[in-house]
A and B are shown apart, each in its own frame.
Chain A
Amino acid sequence: MSTQPTPTGLAPAPAGFDAPTPAAAPARRASRPWLLRGLPWLTTLGILVLWELIARAGWLPPEVPSISAIGAALVELAPTAGFVHALMATLEQVAVGLAGGVVAGLVLGVALGTVPLLYRLVHYPLDFLRFVPAVVFLPLMLLLLGATPRVSTLLGMVGALWPMLFQTFYGVSGINDVLRDSARVFGLRAHQRLGHVVLPAVAPFVATGVRLAASHVLVVVVAVEIIASVRGIGADIAVYASNAVYPSMYALVFVVGVLGVLANVGLLAIERRVLGWHISYREEAR
């Protein structure tokens, strides 16, 4: 299955915005780079200002506070112990879930990629399980463990496992035969082959897997916190929502969004730095 061309991790690098396009006049854009560079910030600021003005004018429903009210709520919330505890709880659940899922996915992915018989034996069950979202298991987990952080951590692991496993598997099974054979000819031992051939070759796939896994874990952990009131930011969002403290609710949604952006951007930056030597990233840098 999966003949689709994309989720390989070696997705084509987005062309730079400075690349000349037929739609816009490149010469004029090049002469005013500051405008181009500032544009994303300007529009973002514009959206926020527009939101503020519409809210001040009273055109928004009462459930949508103004940006300034949300900002004030955030400033007020940030130093409180409750917020810090919730943030720490969420971060801990995300971190443990991600770490567990990544390690398990890596081990299983390498095993399945290097032992074809193993893949053949288990690929039907795996193909079934990978399309079952982790939150589906929530009722069972609540029954077995109750509403504890362990539930969100475990389900986070499940959420992280599949992207990690399949990315690693694609990477390992896609290793060039010549590469594999020459390593064998040079008499590299199994653990040397693993360390010097397999892992470097699959590193970009693994990096993509970690990035996908991180966003999956965040979605699952926040969902479990909201549904089962497991301590964390998600539970606080739900509490503020049901008590009609809307500025604080939006402030926390914003915080969760920032976590998502940080997971994405941060992991991508680490990836570029660590894998700068790799061909796919070198081409990107050109």
Chain B
Amino acid sequence: MTSMVRPRRAGHRFTAWLVSLIVPVAALLTWWFASLGNTSPFWPSLRSILVSFQQLWLFSRFASDVLPSVGRMLLGYCVAVVIGIALGVLFGRLPLLHRAFDPALQFCRALPATALVPVSIVLLGIGDLPKIVLTAFVTVFPVLLNTIDGVRAVDRELEDAARSYRLTRAQRVLHVQLPAAAPNILAGMRIALTVAFVMMVVTELVAATNGIGFVTLQAQQSFEVSQMWAGMLLLGILGVLFNGAFVLVERRLLRWYTKDRES
């Protein structure tokens, strides 16, 4: 991908950026003007969508619905990341253990996560806890399996060097194995983040008392169409924001790695 954008003079880069903006700006303008006088109940004007967006999400529903949604998702995600990395290091260092539990792990990974939503409701009800537990359970597998792969692939020579410097086991894990596996782990965490986001939306669509997904579905069922659009818009923006934030963190954490690669 990066090969497509060759380093050029600043002026060219600016033109290229302008070209990239043509379609999105044109699309938004078309949407705005084409929908302005729209009377179809299903396709409200972009203007009214933005009005509901501002009324609904900017502050009136922020504390009651946006924060709980995002909080549940991030909490489940963080729990999954911690457990996934810890178990991943364990399994990665003990191939026999990994081999023993591989079928179970593969089954849990391949199981479509959404099928577990009714199960979690049966077991834990419809409050916050089942959503957090389910998100954590489902997102742990990408992190876990990628960590195992990363730790297993640590260079033998690196390992030997660390050993000959008499690093303790804890030091080897913290300073050698985890950094070496970091690119893999972060790739797993990235997949896990999108999974967590999907689970956030789906759990709220199935059974919830608050949350962005819940409000959006309610709006659909009560024919508040512009509110429904506003909810979808918010979910879309959140999805992009989460990913953008992750990319920034990833770049920061992996700077040593990408730099190394480029040189």
A residues neighboring B (CB under 8 Å): 1-7, 12, 14-15, 17, 21-24, 36, 39-44, 47, 61, 63-64, 116-117, 119-125, 127-129, 131-133, 135-140, 142-144, 170, 173-174, 215, 218-220, 222-223, 226-227, 233-234, 237-238, 240-242, 244, 246, 249-250, 252-253, 256-257, 259-261, 263-264
Whether A241 lies near B228 (C-beta < 8 A) is no
Whether B197 lies near A121 (C-beta < 8 A) is no
A14 and B122 alpha carbons, distance in the complex (Å): 37
Residues on B with beta carbons closer than 8 Å to the beta carbon of A238: 118, 206
A223-B202 in contact given A39-B100, A133-B197, A250-B119 (Cβ < 8 Å): yes
Cβ-Cβ contact count across A and B, 8 Å cutoff: 206
Whether A135 lies near B23 (C-beta < 8 A) is no
Whether B42 lies near A170 (C-beta < 8 A) is no
Whether B101 lies near A226 (C-beta < 8 A) is no
Residues on A with beta carbons closer than 8 Å to the beta carbon of B236: 128-129, 131-132, 136
Extra contacts besides A138-B217, A139-B216, A241-B122 (14): CB < 8 Å: A2-B247, A4-B183, A22-B159, A41-B103, A42-B100, A128-B24, A129-B236, A132-B240, A143-B228, A223-B198, A237-B118, A237-B119, A253-B111, A257-B108
A123 and B216 alpha carbons, distance in the complex (Å): 28
Residues on A with beta carbons closer than 8 Å to the beta carbon of B116: 253
A186 and B2 alpha carbons, distance in the complex (Å): 28
Contacts of B167-183 to chain A: CB distance below 8 A: 183
Q: List 5 A-B contacts (CB under 8 A).
A: A5-B261, A133-B194, A136-B232, A237-B115, A261-B107
Residues on B with beta carbons closer than 8 Å to the beta carbon of A23: 93-95
Could you give, for residues 196-234 of chain B, a 1 whenever the CB lies within 8 Å of some chain A CB and a 0 otherwise?
A: 011001100110000000001101100001001101100
Is B64 part of the contact surface with A, judged by Cβ < 8 Å?
no
A146 and B119 alpha carbons, distance in the complex (Å): 26
Whether B115 lies near A139 (C-beta < 8 A) is no
**Beta-carbon nearest neighbor of B21 in chain A:** A124
**Beta-carbon nearest neighbor of B202 in chain A:** A223
A12 and B187 alpha carbons, distance in the complex (Å): 13
Whether B231 lies near A139 (C-beta < 8 A) is yes
Residues on B with beta carbons closer than 8 Å to the beta carbon of A264: 106, 110
| A75 → B minimal CB distance (Å) | 19
| B185 → A minimal CB distance (Å) | 10
Whether A124 lies near B20 (C-beta < 8 A) is yes
Is B71 part of the contact surface with A, judged by Cβ < 8 Å?
no
Contacts of B143-184 to chain A: CB distance below 8 A: 149, 152-153, 156, 159, 183-184
Instruction: Pick the residue among A17, A218, A246 that contacts B122 (CB under 8 A).
Output: A246
Residues on A with beta carbons closer than 8 Å to the beta carbon of B261: 5
Residues on A with beta carbons closer than 8 Å to the beta carbon of B2: 3
The 6 closest A-B pairs by CB, nearest first: A260-B110, A241-B118, A223-B114, A6-B187, A257-B111, A139-B220
